[in-house]
Amino acid sequence: MKVLYVASECAPFVKTGGLADVIGAVPKVLEQLGASIKVLLPAYPALAKVLKGGKTVAQLGDLHSGNARLVAVRKEGLDLLLLDAPHLFDRPGNIYLDDSGRDWADNHLRFGALSAIGAKVALEGAGRWKPDVVHAHDWQAGLIPAYLRQAGKGAPPSIVTIHNIAFQGLFDASVRHTLGIGDELFTYEGAEYYGKLGFLKAGLALCDKITTVSPTYARELLTPKFGMGLEGLLQARSDDLSGILNGIDPDIWNPATDPDLVTTYSSRSLKRRGKNRTEIESRFGLTPYPGAPLFCVVSRLTRQKGLDLLLEVLPDLVERGGRLALLGSGDSDLETGFKDAADRYAGSVGVIIGYDEALSHLLQGGSDAILVPSRFEPCGLTQLYGVRYGTLPVVARTGGLADTVVDADNAAIKSRRATGVVFDPVTADGLRQAIQRACDLFDKPETWRSMVRAAMRYPVGWDGSAPQYLELYDRMTRPGTGKETR
């Protein structure tokens, strides 16, 4: 089975969130299962060195007023295809946003080009390699099914994965001409979305199969509350929609070998976590208080993540003796809110605004609990890292959070299956009570330790999910099924 992955980010090369972690991990697991996966990515500056070591496999000529080529290179266990188009991708700063924090004005060209070249590789291959299936991730690769539909016969089947439906890639209708999307596809059944060109809409309407990153989110997406306007289309396509849970890369996220920890540990040497905790306290300016839990947050600071609720309940957390170490960046009102809170509750609340991969590992390796009060969460990875590291997740009952954390109710505690605290409704009150419960559990060291051990035993790798992707690719390419039935 040969599959072309097309995405806008991929760890460890370029990452703004969980999409990168997933794209960096799944292809490696699928390779172990016998598949051949190539990952098409834009050649951002972060990939400059990797690009230099690669081999040109195709000259692409002019691509929106600049020369482009396709470069193949194997790096970090991944077969990469890099779209080298300096006029589109060789620019400093955030891969999606300009210096003023706005979307790059030419994002339709940048990711339209990624989609167009994705479709070209799907149709013609790269060198001697030609995919059986093309797998597009999020809106940045959303136009691929549209280009394949325009190509007609001979196109391989396509699958679109929704990592987050909040980002849909909506652009002025007129850009379709520049992008070569024909009027016959600019319809309600195709790429048109309330008069605009919708990259994700096009992908979801025109692909063969749709997946998202947890079973619960797959169900939630069919409702107006979570579908963000696309619920009708998804309901119509519900036979083709499934939820396949994300996993984590167990080599990168392993407390027994993690180079970013002060001390590594396993479930049999939990005491060693103490040194990591001490380092967190010192980095975040926290006054040590072993009698109460150290909560952490590692997150984009956006409304999705529900961190405004955390701001509301911080006084209660602090009153209870709890500590909070927060690492994140994003919306300026949340950044300001947390910086103010760190001043007000100096010693109890420590805040570092920014993006710091190594520090995110340390927080997982030394905190007692990780807070993820998201309003919606397609899967979420930080709670999975928490589970692996014995940093018990306190999470909202939504999406992948609901699918990956076993709430500490009496039955689960008794049967030693509890791995965290799951709460609803997702309100300040709900979160306040969840934090109280976590503190109460922490007060019972034996129960807490047993939960930490249950968490560290809980399967969070790709063993369950990677075969589900393979099975789906198989079904799509089997004669008489998948593509042929549409």
* Interacting residues toward ligand ADP by CB under 6 A: 17-19, 21, 298-300, 327-329, 355-357, 360, 379-382
Name which of ligand ADP, ligand GLC, none residue 307 binds, using a CB cut-off of 5 to 8 Å depending on partner kind.
none
Instruction: Report the residue number, 97 or 411, with the smaller CB distance to ligand GLC.
Output: 97
Instruction: Report the residue number, 179 or 326, with the smaller CB distance to ligand ADP.
Output: 326
Residue nearest to ligand ADP (CB): 18
Residue nearest to ligand GLC (CB): 18
- Name the minimum Å distance from CB 331 to ligand ADP: 13
Name which of ligand GLC, ligand ADP, none residue 28 binds, using a CB cut-off of 5 to 8 Å depending on partner kind.
none
Instruction: Report the residue number, 51 or 298, with the smaller CB distance to ligand ADP.
Output: 298
Binding site for ligand GLC (CB under 6 A): 17-19, 22, 163-164, 213, 246, 377-381, 400
- Name the minimum Å distance from CB 379 to ligand ADP: 6
- Name the minimum Å distance from CB 220 to ligand ADP: 15
Instruction: Report the residue number, 68 or 301, with the smaller CB distance to ligand ADP.
Output: 301
Instruction: Report the residue number, 131 or 378, with the smaller CB distance to ligand GLC.
Output: 378
Name which of ligand ADP, ligand GLC, none residue 328 binds, using a CB cut-off of 5 to 8 Å depending on partner kind.
ligand ADP
- Name the minimum Å distance from CB 226 to ligand GLC: 12
- Name the minimum Å distance from CB 305 to ligand GLC: 9
Name which of ligand ADP, ligand GLC, none residue 329 binds, using a CB cut-off of 5 to 8 Å depending on partner kind.
ligand ADP
Name which of ligand GLC, ligand ADP, none residue 373 binds, using a CB cut-off of 5 to 8 Å depending on partner kind.
none
Name which of ligand ADP, ligand GLC, none residue 356 binds, using a CB cut-off of 5 to 8 Å depending on partner kind.
ligand ADP
Name which of ligand ADP, ligand GLC, none residue 299 binds, using a CB cut-off of 5 to 8 Å depending on partner kind.
ligand ADP
Name which of ligand GLC, ligand ADP, none residue 213 binds, using a CB cut-off of 5 to 8 Å depending on partner kind.
ligand GLC
Instruction: Report the residue number, 8 or 246, with the smaller CB distance to ligand GLC.
Output: 246
Instruction: Report the residue number, 22 or 317, with the smaller CB distance to ligand GLC.
Output: 22
- Name the minimum Å distance from CB 149 to ligand GLC: 25
HEC assignment per residue over the chain: CEEEEECCCECCCECCCHHHHHHHHHHHHHHHCCCEEEEEEECCHHHHHHHHCCEEEEEEEECCCCEEEEEEEEECCEEEEEEECHHHHCCCCCCCECCCCCECCCHHHHHHHHHHHHHHHHHHCECCECCCEEEEECHHHCCHHHHHHHHCCCCCCEEEEECCCCCCCEECCCHHHHHCCCHHHCCCCCCEECCEEEHHHHHHHHCCEEEECCHHHHHHCCCHHHHCCCHHHHHHCHHHEEECCCCCCCCCCCCCCCCCCCCCCCCCCHHHHHHHHHHHHHHHCECCCCCCCEEEEEEEECHHHCHHHHHHHHHHHHHCCCEEEEEEEECHHHHHHHHHHHHHCCECEEEEECCCHHHHHHHHHHCCEEEECCCCCCCCCHHHHHHHHCCEEEEECCHHHHHHCCECCHHHHHCCCCCEEEECCCCHHHHHHHHHHHHHHHCCHHHHHHHHHHHHHCCCCCCCCHHHHHHHHHHHHCCCCHHHHC
Total Cβ atoms within 10 A of residue 320: 15
